[in-house]
Chains A and B, each alone.
Chain A
Amino acid sequence: GENVEQHPSTLSVQEGDSAVIKCTYSDSASNYFPWYKQELGKRPQLIIDIRSNVGEKKDQRIAVTLNKTAKHFSLHITETQPEDSAVYFCAAAGGGADGLTFGKGTHLIIQP
């Protein structure tokens, strides 16, 4: 089945700086890669996703890049703000009957 590795587990950045979270996946047949944000005590919510026919996607301060050859994808957050503090999960799907496989999450801390 699919295996998704996510790094780092904790990331602390100064407000206004950029944050990058990286994920690798194992199943070359996976073709859908979403990112979810989970604030403390809340449910995960989709913030951006990318499909395998696209190398990069951007939505305001958030961007995701995908390298299918290397089987890795990354989340980039620019001009970080206090409300960006949360746990971020990457995921991969589409390679088989395994559902959506999530990474273990990155706790992003924005320092004022």
Chain B
Amino acid sequence: DSGVTQTPKHLITATGQRVTLRCSPRSGDLSVYWYQQSLDQGLQFLIQYYNGEERAKGNILERFSAQQFPDLHSELNLSSLELGDSALYFCASSVLSEDAGELFFGEGSRLTVL
């Protein structure tokens, strides 16, 4: 158990819908990262938050947004869903703000868009 909690574990929805994925980092970790894992694309970095502030942005679509709350949990919002958004979404946390330390991954949220 990494200490990072993600909900829901599985989610099935239809195209055009909106979903919210939730992540609780390890106790004491200030950084939260979101990654998208598709079969042929590996782990695609979406966005990083550190202590409530956006710190780094990757290949995140405009239809996607995220935030980190004062209690440090984070939510990833995916809207106007398309078939291609079906993937495993990982949240990871670390104690550092820079990317020079171990990331602890949650178990992931598997999104299926029909």
Contact of A99 among B40, B41, B99, B102 (CB under 8 A): B99
Q: How large is the interface on B (under 10, 10 to 19, 20 to 34, 35 or more residues)?
A: 20 to 34
Asked if A99 contacts B100 (CB within 8 A), the reply is no
> Which residues on B sit within 8 Å (CB–CB) of A49?
102
Inter-chain CB contacts under 8 Å: number: 64
> Which residues on B sit within 8 Å (CB–CB) of A105?
42-43
Q: Is A26 an interface residue (CB 8 A)?
A: no
Cα distance A27–B41 when bound, in Å? Answer: 20
Q: Which of the segments B21-29, B53-61, B66-74, B79-87 contacts the partner chain?
A: B53-61
Contact of A51 among B43, B55, B100, B106 (CB under 8 A): B100
> Which residues on A sit within 8 Å (CB–CB) of B45?
98-102
Name the interface residues of B62-114: CB closer than 8 Å to any CB of A. 90, 98-100, 102-103, 105-108
Cα distance A101–B44 when bound, in Å? Answer: 7
Contact of A46 among B55, B100, B102, B107 (CB under 8 A): B102
> Which residues on A sit within 8 Å (CB–CB) of B56?
97-99
Q: Is B2 an interface residue (CB 8 A)?
A: yes
Asked if B100 contacts A102 (CB within 8 A), the reply is no
Beyond the given pairs A43-B106, A100-B33, 18 more chain A to chain B contacts, judged by CB atoms under 8 angstroms and listed by A's residue number, are A1-B58, A34-B103, A42-B107, A43-B90, A46-B102, A46-B103, A49-B102, A51-B100, A93-B99, A94-B100, A97-B55, A97-B57, A99-B45, A99-B48, A99-B58, A101-B45, A104-B41, A105-B43
